[in-house]
Structure formats: C-alpha cells, structure tokens
Amino acid sequence: MLDKPIKSISLRQIYTLLFLLGWFFFPFNDFEGIPALGEFKNEAGAFFFMAGLLVLAIEIFFTWKVVLPLRSKPFLILVLFIAWCFVVTVLNYATVSQNYYKHTSGIYRFIRQYASLLIPSFLFLIFFLNVIKNWSAIEMLTKIRKVLLFSLIFVFIYGFIETLIIVFNVNALRPVLALFGYFPFVEVNYMTGGRISSVAYESPSLGNYLITISGWMFSYILSSKSRYRFIPLLLILFLTFFSGSRTALINITVQVTILLSILYAIPSYRKNFLKIFKFGFIAISILLIINGNKVVVAVGEKIESLNFSKNLKNNISNQTRFGMQYASLQVFKENPIIGVGFGQETYHKRFHYPRWAKKNNWEFEGMYQNNKLRSFPSAYNIYTRLLAETGIIGFSIFVFLIYYCIKQSIYVFKKSSDQYRILGFVLILSFVGLSLNWLQTDFFRQHGFWLCLAILITILNRISYNNNHSETHLYN
C-alpha cells in the first residue's frame, strides 16, 4: 500500500503560525533576552513577528506580491508622520550632530530610535496586513481572539497563584509557581509591594498587555451566547486589580465604561448589562468571604494610589514621571514648531529637570543623571515626547491619526454590516485604551495598536470596494 503524499507547508502557513504564536507570547517579557535587539531584546512576541516578517520577505522575493495600502487614508497619515520624524531631524542636523550624552551621539541615538519607530509601526504593520489579507471578518475576530484568550488563561493561572503567594501569603504554592520556569520565555520572579506581574517583568507591563487585549476579550459578551462569555472580563479585572498598575486601573475602567454604555444603549445587548453587575457582585462577594480584610485593605491602597497630587510629594515614581513630562514641555516651549529632532529630547530636557522632581529622588542621581549608565531616561508620555522632538506639526499628525482611527472604528461599528460590527467594537476599545496608555509610555511598541490599524485598513478597503462595486452595478 502506497503511503499518502505529504502535503507541503507553504510560506504563508509558516508566517501565519508565527503571527499567532507572537500574539500568544505577547505578554512574555520577563527574561534576559537578546541585548543586540535593543528595545525588543526581551519581547517574546516580537521575536515571532520578526521571524514571520523574514518568511514574508522570502515569499515576496519569489512572488513579487505584497499588500501595501497606498490609497488608504490612515496608512498615508502614518507614512506622513514617519516621514516628518525624519525631516525634523534633518532640519535640526546642526544640533543633532553635536548632541552627546551617556556615551551616545545624537546621530546614533536617532538611528536607533527611528528603527524602534519603523519596526512596529511600518514593518510589523505590513506583516499584519499580509497575514490577514485573505481572512474574512469572522476569521479575523475568532482566530486572533482565540489565541489571545489562550494567552490570557495562561497569564491568569500564573497571576492567580502569584496573588495567593504575594497578597494572601500562601507560601506553600511557591514550588508550584516555580514549575512555570520550565515554560519558554518565563523566569519566575516576585514583585515587591504586594503587586503581581505574572509573566511580564513588571506590573505596568502586565497592565499594558491587559489594556491591549481588553477589547478582544470584552467582545465575547457581544458575540457569544455562552454562559461563560463574562469570564474573560472577570479575569482581566482580577489581574488589573492585583497588578496595582495605576495606568491599567484607569484605562480599563474607561474601556469597561464604554462597554457598559454600548450594552445599555443597544436594546438587544441590555440584558448583558445587568448580568455584568450580577457576576461582578458574585465575584466581589467570593473575594470578601475568602479574605475580606485583605481585600478591603487592597482596595484602599489602590484608591490611594490614584491620588496623584498627594503622591507627588511622597511617591518617587510619580515625581519622576511628572518631572520628565514637565522637562519635555520646557523643551517644546523652546522649539515649538519643529522640535529638536526625533530621539533627541533627552539631550535638551536634562537641563530642565524641576527641583521638586529631583528632591529626595534617588532615580535622578543614580540613574538619569548618571553618565556611567548608558540607558536613556523615559519620557513617560509619548505626546510630550513628540511635542519636544517633532514640534506641534509632528504631534498634530500623530494625534490626528489616532482621532481618525477612533472615528472610523465608530463608523464601522455603527454603519457597517453585522460581520464587521464586533470588530468595530474591538477597534473602538483598543484604540481608546492604547491611546490613553500612551499618556504613561513613550515607546511605539504598542503592537496592539498597529494590529488594530491593520484590521481597520483592511475593513475600510473592503467597504470602499463593495460600495464602488455596488455603484458600478447601478449604472450598468
């Protein structure tokens, strides 16, 4: 009997698998990594995206076919922003070429920072577009969402055990958590201060992951009739609460508010609005029964952590964050139109650190003003960074891109057919959450934003094609 022929695996199947693996491993960044990759050195998800991008490049080499949405408005706005970041650096070449700090020249700093912009916002975006180009709306929703759900379940199991150990002092579970160290890209570490980080290297990083996937997980409430459709929401709320990430607490609260508003506004979803309160009440009751005192104390601490004005004087983290943002704005005031060049703000803002931020703050003397450490300080806010580096013009282009994405996502949710409606919901929550998250981060490695942009571009192109096709039939 002859053996059945083995089907060959196409390059497309390989880079699609790498795409899905990248989203499963997206939150995994608590390991040593590869220093040569710079900002991406310990981002497991990015490793798979880069590998997938390489396989896609091989396919393009042999087929000379690639998706480049040159007529897409959001894509053109993005290209304009990327081009402006280069132009302002050329316009500021006189100072950029003279900049030198922490053993790093201004030109070298620009090259590294421009690469950190291009990789996620352009190269990964092209990769995402080519992966999903032939997927239907249902395939885009279910394939990506299912992988993110599996990822969330893993992150939750780890985070739940970590919570029992750190918050509730169940130290007998430490050997159990140690077993996770055998899983790829996981090094078991414990956060201090009663906070958890799961497979991420710190609580804010876990918060960034939760903000990224919230729209996808909340969409189960709209698209599924299963009794388990509320579980992803509860898992996210649990991890958000015990992570102690202030940014995540605020952003996910906004996302939940949008979710509740949509559920209440649409009669067919209104029963889910009431069920969320029902399940929320049950979950809180269970926590109070298990260990009421610990929960009450934890809630008080989380509320207290949101008092930024009070914590500004006795919280080093807040002093640093607001101090850096203040310094960036001072650089913007001196260079309001075209800024100081992309990646160049630290060379200028180091002369503007406010006294109140440096007072009794070891981070400035020990890290940010220490020439022995090569790492540059974070701006802690992408918007103040862009004001300082690209001026009001670059800032306006970037903000307009975000505005346009949110506006078009609302259009997709309200006006398009049912097949795109749930994706429109995901896009709204994701764009809002991630744009708010940029108020506390200064990097472009918000891979969820670029994935959503790829999905939005794909949907808008299909809607435009269908509309034009319908008009052609009307006149024939």
- Report, as an integer, the average pLDDT of 45-56: 98
**Position 45 pLDDT exceeds 90:** yes
pLDDT value, residue 59: 96
pLDDT value, residue 13: 96
Structure-token pair, residue 7: 């089907």
pLDDT value, residue 22: 98
- Report, as an integer, the average pLDDT of 157-162: 96
Non-local (6+) Cβ contacts of 166 within 8 A are: 190, 191, 194, 195, 196
Q: How far apart are CA 238 and CA 232, in angstroms?
A: 10
* In the chain, domain spans: 11-312+379-470
- Report, as an integer, the average pLDDT of 422-435: 97
Output the DSSP codes for 362-421. HHIIIIIT-TT--PPPP-S-HHHHHHHHHHHHHHHHHHHHHHHHHHHHHHHHHHS-HHHH
pTM for this one? 0.91
What is the share, in percent, of the chain residues with pLDDT greater than 70? 87
Mean pLDDT of the chain: 88
- Report, as an integer, the average pLDDT of 226-252: 91
pLDDT tier for residue 473 given thresholds of 50, 70 and 90: very low
